Amino acid sequence: MDFSFSSLFSKEVKSVLGIDIGTSSIKVVQLRRERGRVILETYGAIALGPYAGVEIGRATSLQADKLSEALKDVIREANVTTTDSAIAIPYASSLVSIIKLPAAVEKQLAQVVPIEARKYIPVPINEVLLDWFVVSGGKSAAKDGKLEVLLVAIHNDTIAKFRAIAAAATLITSFFEIEVFSAVRASLDHGLAPTAVLDMGAATTKFYVVERGLIRESHIINHGSQDLTLAASRALSITVAQAEERKRKYGLTGMELPGLKQSLELSLSPLVSEVGRTILGWEQRNNQTLGSMTLTGGGSALKGLKEFMQAKVQAELRIADPFGKTQAPAFLEAILKEAGPEFSVAVGLALRRLQELG
C-alpha cells in the first residue's frame, strides 16, 4: 500500500491508528474526529499463530520481522488509510509501581524520581524510558506527609523493537503506551469509586484496580484463553484448531456440547479463584469494597463467561464496550459489541491520539 500520498496531507487528515500487538494476534483500529464525534473508520485483527507455524489462538513469541509482516498484512486487509499511529507496549515488558515520596519534594520530582526509581528497577536507569504520574497529593498527602507517584519504566530495547516494527510498516508512531493505560481508557468511564479491570489475553490475564481513572494496583495471573483451548483439545480428543473453533462458537453456553462446557469451566476455575483472592486481598488492605469489575481482552468475549464469573464473585460484572465510545454504522452494532473487548487497547490508543490532535 502506498502511504506517501496521505502523509503529504497529514496535517489535514485527522485519522489515527491504534495498534495492539499481542501474543496471539495484532489488532488495529482507525478512528477520526468529525464535528466533535469519534468515527470508527476501520478495524481488523490477524492471528499470529500461522506466522509462528502454530494454530490460531496460540500465544507466540515472534521476531520483529515476522511481526512487521503480520502488521503490514492486517493494515492491508483492514484497508487502513493513515500512517499516524500509536502502539501499545505489553504489560510484561514494562515495570509499573507506586512509590511513596516525602510531600516536600513535589517540586523536585524530575530530580528525585530517577534516583528513587533505582530501588525498583533491576537494570541501569539509562537503559529504560522512565515516566511518572502523581497519584495523590494535596490534602491526601498532608495526612501522612507522603506523595504517591506511579512509576512507569520501559526498557529501551523494547521501544527500539516496536519502532523497528512500525518503521517496516511505513508508519509514523506518535507515542508508545503500556497496554494497561490504553485498555482502561477504552473500557471505563471516569468514576470516582474504585473498580477492577480483568484483561484476559491468550497467555496471561491482567488484573488492575482503577480509582479516579488512575491504576492503583496491578497483577499478572499466568492463565489465559489459550489454556482453555488446550484443555478442551485434550478433554475432547480433538485438534487444537477444532477446540479453538468450538470454544469461539459455543463457549460456556453450548449445552449440546456438555464436554466442552465442562472442560472450559474446569479450566476457568483456577483463574476465577485467583481473581476472587486478589479482590479480597485488596479490599482487606484498603478497607474498601470493589463494587464493580469490567471484563476486557480477547478472552472475555467467551460466550457465557460473564454469567459464569458473576456466580462466583461479589463485584458487579460488565463486559467492556470500547466501540461504544465511537460512532459506526447501525448494522455493525451487534458485531462491534461482541468483538469490542478484544479491541480495547487499540481503541484506547487511537482515542488518546485524537485527544492530542485536539
Helix (H) or strand (E) holding 225: helix 225-236
CA distance linking residue 343 with residue 183, whole number of Å: 9
Nearest to 49 by CA among 210, 178, 164, 202: 202
Give the model confidence (pLDDT) of 275-323 as tens digits: 999 999 999 999 999 999 999 999 999 999 999 999 999 999 999 999 9
Provide the residue-wise pLDDT of the chain in tens; the chain has 358 residues: 333 344 444 445 589 999 999 999 999 999 999 988 999 999 999 999 999 999 998 999 999 999 999 999 999 999 999 999 999 999 989 988 888 899 888 889 989 999 999 998 888 989 999 988 888 754 444 456 788 898 999 999 999 999 999 999 999 999 999 999 999 999 998 777 899 999 999 999 999 999 877 888 888 999 999 999 999 999 999 999 999 999 999 999 877 778 999 999 999 999 999 999 999 999 999 999 999 999 999 999 999 999 999 999 999 999 999 999 999 999 999 999 999 999 999 999 999 999 999 8
The third-level CATH classification (topology) of the domain covering 93-155 is: Dna Ligase; domain 1 (3.30.1490)
- For the entire predicted model, the pTM comes to 0.91
Q: Cell 519504566 belongs to which residue?
A: 153
Q: What sections of 169-224 are H helices per DSSP?
A: 179-187
3 state DSSP class of 276: helix
Q: Cell 516494527 belongs to which residue?
A: 165
Domain boundaries, the chain: 93-155
Q: Which amino acid is at 257?
A: L
Give the model confidence (pLDDT) of 259-279 as tens digits: 999 999 999 999 999 999 999
Helix (H) or strand (E) holding 37: strand 37-47
Give the model confidence (pLDDT) of 126-147 as tens digits: 999 998 888 875 444 445 678 8
Residue 229: C-alpha distances to residues 27, 164, 240, 245, 246 (Å): 20, 32, 7, 9, 9
Sheet containing 25-34, strands listed edge to edge, beginning at the edge strand earlier in sequence: 37-47, 25-34, 16-21, 84-89, 172-178
55: left (phi over 0), alpha (psi -120 to 50) or beta: beta
Q: What is the total residue count of the chain? A: 358
CA distance linking residue 327 with residue 40, whole number of Å: 6
